[in-house]
Structures are given as C-alpha cells and as structure tokens.
Structure 1
Amino acid sequence: MDDMALRLTATSRSFGAVRAVDGLDLAVERGSVVAVLGPNGAGKTTAIAMMLGLLPPDSGTVTLFGGTPAEAVRAGRVGAMLQDGAFVPGATVRDVIELARALYPHPMDTGAILTAAGLTGLAGRRLDRLSAGEAQRARFAFALAGDPELLVLDEPAAAMDVAARQAFWTAVRSYAAHGRTVLFSTHQLHEADDHADRIVVLAAGRVVADGTSAQIRAKAGVPDGASLDAAFLALTSSSASGTGQ
C-alpha cells in the first residue's frame, strides 16, 4: 500500500503564456495535516484543482492513494471545500448534507456531520439565510459528508469569527486524529503555524520551502520566535513576479 495520500511529480500546468504550476513535486503522507501557503499567483488554486481532477496537468503526474484523482473521487475517498462552492437555492443545511451523503458509498452519519461542522442548531435553516461564516461551515459539512480519507480545504476559515474558527480547527484536528489526511491552503499564516504538521510554501508555481514551522523559519533565516509572516515574506519576495493562479 502506498503510504502517500497524494503525489504530484514534475507536474506543470499553463494557461496560454502563463505557467501557473512549474514542475511541482509534492508528496503528502497519510494521516498528516499539511498547509499550502503562497502569495497570490503562486499556483495554489491550480495545484488544488489538479489534485481533485478538475484540471489535467500539461505534464507530470498526479496520484491519490496510488491511483488517479478521478478514481479516488469516484470511490468517495476525497472531500473538498472550495472557495467558490455554490449551493442549491432555497435548500436547507440538512438538505445539502443529505444530498452530499447520497453521492458517496459510505457517508458519515448526518448528526456527526452537523456536530463536526458546528451546525446542529442550524440544520433547518435555509442556506441563503446563513451568515458568511455559517455558509463556510456548511461547505465544510458538504466536504465531510463522504467520510473521506483525504480532505482538501481551500481558504476554509474565511469569513468565520474567532469562536467559529477555533471550533473549526478543533474539528479538523479531531478528524485528522483518526488517520485521515488534511491539506489546506490559507492566507492566514497563523492558522498554518498553529494547526499544520507541515507547511509547504509555493512561489511562481514551485515549492520554495517545505517542513515544520520551525524548519520554515530556519530556511528563511528568521529567529525561531519570529512570526511566520516574516519567514513567508523572506522566502517568497524573490519570486514576487510569478504569475501562476
């Protein structure tokens, strides 16, 4: 059995003259929580789209659990929470969770999903009447529905207030503690610092640093007690002209 939940090998993707992902190599072990950081245009969104099988690479390979992304998705092994996920007009929180559960062969129990996403008291509320933070939690619930082995989260805590963020990350860590793999992208660097086992920094479609938060700081040449922001800026400033997506 492959110990890696996810592998990208020499993976590239261009949009016209723009090379969004440039020979990216990345392997993510099962049971880990990995943060992907990068400035706007670093290639994070394109890389995630290829991981999920939404975009084919121009060159290189992407494998999930040793097979193709399409195979992993069909088997219900992958759940995703994307920034631009839309909902069925007029549907309730419970409606969308039940819809999501119907898509998977071995879904999580509805009550467990509601609890994990902090939506138990909002199950009967229409999605178009949720706050922005509550809508994010509903997207998280949708991603959890299939009880996936790999959970991919794109800017997951955006629009959540402080209490909701704390509850969300507690739920993520609890989920990963059962041997699942979580990969998330964020512009909130303290979230990566606090919640990721490993941090991957992208710039101009390439990995410029990969390791624990302490290792990222060391590579950037900043003190261990310095903010991750300082390390991030040091690592990505030389690639600020990158134009990936």
Structure 2
Amino acid sequence: MDHVIELDRVSKVYKGKRAVDGLSLRVSKGSVLALLGPNGAGKTTTVSMILGLLQPTEGKVKLLGSDPREAGVRKRIGAMLQEVSVIDNLKVSETIELFRSYYDKPLPLADLLRISALESERGKMASALSGGQQRRLGFALALAGDPEVLFLDEPTVGMDVTSRQLFWDTVRKMADRGKTIVLTTHYLEEADSIADRIVVVSDGRIVADGSPSEIKARTTGRIISFTAGERTSDEELRDIPGVTELSRSGRRVKLMSEDTDRLIAELIARRTDMRDIEIGSGGLEEAFQALVRKAE
C-alpha cells in the first residue's frame, strides 16, 4: 500500500463555520508527517477525522485503505491525544496491561514501561501521576499494540526536558523501523528535527507542504538580526528596499531578505543604529510565521 492515509477534499463544518475546508492529503507508509498550524487552524479536527472520531461533512477519509472506524483498522493504529484520561483505581502497570489485552500482538509490558520511563511508577496509582507522567502513560498506551500508524497530538506538552528527549529518541527509532507517524506540535524545533514532511494548515486549508528544508528555503530567505538603538523604529526599517519581513522581541530585530548582502550595505549607508549583528538562514519558526501571515 503506497498511501496509509488518504483525505479527498475533506471538509468539516461546525455551526456554519468550516473548521476544515476541502483538504486533500496523502501520507506514504514509513513517513513522519508534522501537521502544523496556529490555534483553530483545523489540525486536531483533521486528526480526529483520520482516526474516525469525527465524520467529515464532505469528502472521504481512508486509513490503511479502509474506513477508520473498522475494528481491523483500529487494531493497527495508536493515538496519543491532547486530553489524557486515566482509569480510577488502576495502577500504572494494570492500566497498560488492560490496553495490551485489546491487541493480538501487543508489545511486552516491560518494553512499554521502559519506553515511557515509568518503570519506577509501575506500582503507583495512575491517577496519582503528575501531568507529565500521565502524558508518558498516554504514550505507552498508544504503543501498546505495536501500531503501524501512530498519531501524536501535542505529545510533549507538560513533559520535562529529559522526558521529551527520551520521547523523541523513541519516536525516531519507530520511524527507522518503518512506522508511519503523524504529529502535531507547537514546539517547531521538534517538528524540524523529527519530520521528513511538514504540512502547514491555516483556516482549514493547506498553505504549504514539503520537507523542512524546502519549507524554510521557499519561505524565509535569509535573516539579519541585530540589537536596534532606541530611536530605530519598525516603520523606517520596513521602508528599506529588500526587507520582506520584520519581527521584533524587545530591541532585538530580525529582518528577512532575499539579498542580505545588499540589505546590510543599505543599513550601513543609512547609518542605522544597530549592534551585535548576525546573518543566517531562517528557521522553521520564521517560515511558519511568514506562511500564517500570508494566509491571513
């Protein structure tokens, strides 16, 4: 099967508003896809339709070649969603064992505890776990059936740095084994490091689709960043020929341009008050912001 996920002109309407608007998407087996977009862009709705938790108002969705609601399909996928609910009066190991019982060929309990870094908490009540530990438990449950396709919706929210590192190391190993992974995240550096394909959505539509390097190269050009003097205004900087985007954090300014050599010469010629000058390529954060602004 070439495509494990297929969306054909899919729309979802809530109270007259299109959360997803005519979206078509195909995801190949063994790929790692990051679905990015601002809040309310339609990411979670799209994932919910792929999982069969929501039905599209228009269009067709196929998962592993079939209807996502089929029992045979559900046994071949795993999902870690934003909302984590634990079962009362069950320990961590008992919760994982319960989910393992739903599958024909589950991963061993010891492996799931190790992957989720919950070996020390195996005897603790699941409801007593911290927020970050509950996220890791959700990861173990998503992997219980050794899924062919794994969905991760904002997976590392609430995790500490060590847990996040272990989490992504595990995801990379799964990708190396040919698993298909679909993730949404607000941590763009994570998407940049793990995904081989990025799809950016805004207002329920796809506004960019490509590898991380392609997205960055198409969108941002290069960046000059510097600390601006107190009298240096955004208005005068935007008026300089060659400036395509401007962003500011306090007095630290970033100017995007397709020709940074010419732009730096122009800044010097205008005697712009600036110091601590750096020139480099734009990152995924800059590309994402530029795409969203353009879409809006």
The TM-score bracket by the shorter chain reads over 0.9
Q: Specify the alignment match of 2:167 in structure 1.
A: 168
Q: What amino acid sits opposite 1:45 in the alignment?
A: T
* 1:65 equivalent in alignment to 2:61: no
Residues 25-53 of structure 1: CA deviation (Å, up to 9, x unaligned): 11111111111100011000100100100
Aligned-partner Cα distance in 2 for 1:200–1:48: 13
* Rg (Cα) greater in structure: 2
> In structure 1, how many angstroms separate the alpha carbons of the residues matched to 2:287 and 2:9?
26
Instruction: Give the TM-score normalised by structure 2.
Output: 0.78
Please tell me whether residue 177 in structure 1 is matched to residue 176 in structure 2: yes
Q: Could you say what secondary structure the match of 2:281 adopts?
A: coil
Structure 1: distance between partners of 2:73 and 2:219 = 40
In terms of fraction of residues, the more strand-rich structure is 2
Q: Flag as ranges the 4+ runs of structure 1 deviating above 6 A.
A: none
RMSD across aligned C-alpha pairs, in angstroms? 1.4
Q: Deviations over 1:172-230 (max 9, x none)?
A: 11112111111110011111011111111110101111111111112223338322111
Counterpart of 2:291 in structure 1 is: 235
Paired with 2:199 and 2:22, the residues of 1 have a C-alpha distance of 15
Residue 32 of structure 1 is matched in structure 2 by: 31
* 8 Å contact from structure 1 (residues 116, 141) kept in 2: yes
1:133/1:161 CA distance change after superposition, 3 Å? same
Q: Is the 8 A contact 2:87 2:127 kept in 1?
A: no
User: How many residue pairs end up in the alignment?
Assistant: 239
Give distance in 1, aligned partners of 2:58 and 2:205. Answer: 14
The residue number in structure 2 matching 1:47 is 46
- Give the TM-score normalised by the residue count of structure 1: 0.93
Question: Which stretch shows the higher mean deviation, 99-108 or 79-88?
Answer: 99-108
Q: Distance in 2 between matches of 1:156 and 1:229?
A: 19
Instruction: Return the alpha-carbon distance in structure 2 between the equivalents of residues 144 and 37 of structure 1.
Output: 23
Unpaired segments ≥5 residues, structure 1: 241-245
Q: Which residue of 2 aligns with 1:148?
A: 147
Within a 5 Å distance, the mapping from 1:37-116 to structure 2 comes to: 37-71=36-70, 74-116=73-115
**C-alpha distance 110-220 of structure 1, shift in aligned 2 (>3 A):** same
* Partner residue in 2 for 1:243: none
Which protein, 1 or 2, shows the higher relative CO under an 8 Å CA cutoff with sep ≥ 6?
A: 1
Pick closer, same or farther for the CA change 1:70–1:225 going to 2, 3 Å. same
In structure 2, stretches of 5+ residues that fail to align are: 223-279
Kept in 2, the 8 Å contact 1:93–1:125? The answer is yes
Q: What percent of counterpart residues are identical?
A: 46
Provide the residue aligned with 2:130 in structure 1: 131
Moved more, 8-17 or 118-127: 118-127
